[in-house]
Amino acid sequence: MSTRRVNDEKRLEFAKWAPLLLLLLLGTVPALSQNNCSVAPPTGTCAAPSPVQTWCAGNNPGSTCPGGTSWIGFSTSPPAAGSWTNQFEGLDAASLQHAGVRPRPQPDPNGGVGPTNSSGVGQYLEFSANYVQAFDRQTGNGIFSTKPGSGASPQPLSAMFLPGGSNYCENGSVDGISTYDRIDGVFVAANIFNPGGNSTYYYCIGVSAASGSVPASNLQGSNNQSNWNVYAYYLNPAIPHDSTGHLYFPDYQRFGTWSDGYYVAWDLEDTTRNYDIVGFEVCKLDKTNIIAGLSSNPPVCYTYIPSYVAGPNGTDSSLIHTLLPADFEGSNPVPSSTAGEYFLAQVNPSNPGTNNQCTTAPCTSNQLAFWTWSGFTSGAGPTFINFPSNPYTPGCYDPAHPYNTICVPEPYGGVIDGLGDRLNYRLAYRYLTSGTSGEYLAVAQTVQQNASTQRTGIRYYLIAAGANPFVVQLGEIQDATYHLFASMPSVAMDSNGDIGLTFTVTGNTKRGSAMSYDPSPVFMAISRSGKADPPVLVLSNSGASGQNETDDFWGEYVSVSSDPNDDLTFWAVNEYMKGNQTANCTPKIGSGCTWATRVFRCKKGSGC
């Protein structure tokens, strides 16, 4: 199998892929949610109070936002001259250091690609380590700058909310998102912020806006200014408390664009119990007014905390968490026959006959949890998608420590969190009119491939959506040749229904790998019929073991999206190590680190 070389002696080869075409049994009756919404915490599926729009500002002369109608957004500069073929350097620690910033050790890169205009001008927007940059599609160089025309420089996401939003949109989590809304032709960037470092939380979101004749899809803007409409929502009223009055911690946001709103979800974590995940919250934002730059209607929110979690005999942790909202892509609009916005989550293994996390091997699950927005509004529990013939063990699952998913080895000796307890961002949605037409969802997760070494691989799903969803394709990817670990996947679909998939490979000879291998990005394309292209090492030399420090978190929000220009080319961003990491960028170890990201494009049948 042809792939990029690792070094002169060895070539990375993966075992034969065996995607399984399945039509699997589905529990179509929603589970009883056992709602008890008048207690603390509320259990089952419960309506939550709305977050409060505290501040907004819109680039609209008729804006009703308290921030007024003055310009707000990012300064831009013309991109430096350059060219690229299939990849270019994204945000990295070096560029942040050059801008006078101490980089955070966890970048969590993700992004979205917009279209080009008749002159070929367009951008890819990336978020990493709480900074953003818009990269010119022609040159691969950035355009966001500190001052108009001053030259490209990464910008903190919080800069988008200055000056009026500075009291709300500071001290962001590492889990921000950037994406492109193909329905309304705007870029989106958002994060959960914790200003002051106390238990006060805001959700801050911005969408690009037109500037005269320059559409919102062109972040260059006019007069070296990129216009954005920005909003800050006070989350505390919407977040539930535990029985002792402690506010749950909102963590790990996931985002989806849809025709009738923006949907965002976050986990609810109990800070008094080692941040155990008790459930999740999901909200629908007023997309219409946000895009128009007008004061928005209150978000509509629901929480899901299973009844078995709470109380003196509760488990303190939910088997279902980290809900993914469907994220629209494609040129075909959402059909009128849709069942509404879709959501999916992993169901983690439990001891037989209980709702306790599995503590006796083998620990497997054969379910996914599915919701529609109308299910939340009616107080329904999840519908379970079952595949009894194809169970999985979540990646890094340890029966002795079921909440600890950190096991993916690095050459230095450290380990990465494989996030095996959840589906990975994003849940790609597309309405296909060719072949077997209909609404489809694609998603992936990290699963265990070898119990003795905990070697991980990737499992992906293609699901027919609707009121009665079912799995139409299920496949797994593992390295059975060199026994490298694969983890942290993300998927998208092209107009043919083919899947584009990026993930990370890494290895350590002490953990059964044939070679020590630095964490490195890989891309694969898989046809709608299940036939896989050979895996492509995005950076042919990035795996050469030179890493001498450890990063516990790696690529948790990597993303793939389809190109609006041809709807066939995949654009992705992933993390890699740029040379020896002589010092991590934490105060404990010292300054400086060498994480980097790479933006790359690939196409089914053509590689990268």
Residue 557's closest CA among 484, 502, 477? Answer: 502
Q: Among positive and negative, which fits the CA dihedral 50, 56, 61, 64?
A: positive
Return the number of other C-beta atoms located less than 10 Å from residue 25's C-beta: 15
Per-residue confidence (pLDDT) for residue 544, from 0 to 100: 72
Predicted local confidence at residue 540, as pLDDT: 77
Q: How far apart are CA 278 and CA 268, in angstroms?
A: 6
Q: What's 375's DSSP letter?
A: H
**Whole-number Cα distances in Å, 131 to 112, 126, 143, 426, 572:** 15, 8, 13, 20, 17
Are the C-beta atoms of residues 518 and 577 closer than 8 Å to each other? yes
Q: Note the pLDDT tens digit of each residue in 80-121.
A: 999 999 999 999 988 888 888 878 778 899 999 999 999 999
What is the spatial distance between Cα 285 and Cα 181, in angstroms, rounded to a whole number? 14
CB-neighbour burial class of residue 6 (10 A; exposed 0-12, middle 13-18, buried 19+): buried
Dihedral Cα 133, 134, 137, 138, nearest 10 deg: -80
CA atoms within 13 A on the CB side of 201: 20
| DSSP letter (8 states) at residue 287 | H
Low-confidence ranges of the chain (pLDDT < 50): 1-30, 32, 581-584, 587-592
**Cis omega (within 30 of 0) for bond into 335:** no
Query: C-alpha angle 476/479/480, rounded to 5°?
Result: 100
Q: Which pLDDT score is estimated for 608?
A: 87
DSSP SS3 for 160: helix
Report how far Cα 38 is from the mean position of its chain's Cα atoms. 32
- Six-digit token string for 367: 């379910």
Model pLDDT, residue 43: 96
The number of residues making up the chain comes to: 608
Of 137, 202, 136, nearest to 145 by C-alpha is 136
- Look up residue 232 and give its two tokens: 């800050």
Per-residue pLDDT, 548: 60
**383-386/406-409 β-pairing:** unpaired
Scored b (16 or more CB within 10 A) or e, 535-552 reads bbbbbeebbbbbbebbbe
Sheet with 110-113, strands from edge to edge, namely: 110-113, 123-128, 131-136, 155-156
Residues 409 and 510 sit within 8 Å (Cβ to Cβ): yes
The H or E element spanning position 135 is strand 131-136
Give the distance from CA 200 to its chain's centroid.
24
Q: At 324, is the secondary structure helix, strand, or coil? A: strand
CA atoms within 13 A on the CB side of 117: 15
By the 8 A CB rule, do 591 and 102 touch?
Answer: yes
Residue 506, sorted as left (phi over 0), alpha (psi -120 to 50) or beta, turns out to be beta
pLDDT at 340: 95
Instruction: Indicate the pTM of the whole model.
Output: 0.94
First to last CA, the chain: 15
Q: Which of 408, 607, 442 is nearest to 520 (CA)?
A: 408
In this structure, what token pair is assigned to residue 183?
A: 């329905």
User: What is the residue whose two structure tokens read 């020590």?
Assistant: 516
Coil, helix or strand at residue 509: helix
Q: How far apart are CA 270 and CA 248, in angstroms?
A: 5
Tell me the CA distances in angstroms from 265 to 252, 320, 607, one per residue in order. 8, 13, 34
Residue recorded with tokens 């006019």 = 222
